[in-house]
Amino acid sequence: MSKTAATTTFSEFLRAPNDVLGVLEDAGEVVLTRRSAPSLRLTQESTSREELTTLGVVGQLFAASLDESALDRVATRLSVALPWIALLPKAVHAEFVAEFQDTARACISVGRFERLSILLHAWEATAQAYADPRLLADGSNLEYLETPELVTAPERSKA
């Protein structure tokens, strides 16, 4: 039987931490809501460690099951959860999946996922660039810079 996370306020946790910890023991997880900030999740460290271990095994299984021909199929299936993948040229689908897989495995191994989030945002930004109607669908008319150039953020250039 899976347990459902209990919810309480951060203020209640500060007022009666032992009561909230008792709820944590019963529910396995407590979500602390805050007025002007994102909610926090309390869980036992062993539960979190088990989740990461399981995620690591899933990542390894995912990686072991992919060969070159499978990368495009995975990208097609991922496009359900990440619809912007459809805007990327088919030629880079395998590159996206391989990079996602490598980064996910690395993040799982250290238990930190910020880099995976950065990678997803970067690829989504690439898809947005390919969505520009002035570009050819395969991106062949993109102009790549040999050296990086500093540009002003668009919101700052408005006068």
pLDDT at 159: 53
Residues 6 or more apart in contact with residue 121 via CB below 8 angstroms: none
- From the candidate CATH numbers 3.40.50, 3.40.1620, 3.30.2420, 2.60.120, the one assigned to the domain spanning 6-43: 3.40.1620
Q: Enter the pTM of the model.
A: 0.60
- Predicted confidence (pLDDT) per residue in 88-99, tens digit: 888 888 888 889
Contact between 10 and 32 under an 8 Å Cβ cutoff? The reply is yes
Domain residue ranges of the chain, discontinuous segments joined by +:
6-43, 46-130
- Predicted confidence (pLDDT) per residue in 11-43, tens digit: 999 999 999 999 888 888 899 999 999 999 998
Q: How confident is the model at residue 1 (pLDDT cuts 50, 70, 90)?
A: very low
- Predicted confidence (pLDDT) per residue in 42-87, tens digit: 988 888 888 878 877 777 777 666 666 676 677 777 878 899 998 8
- DSSP E strands in the chain: the ranges are 6-9, 29-33, 40-43
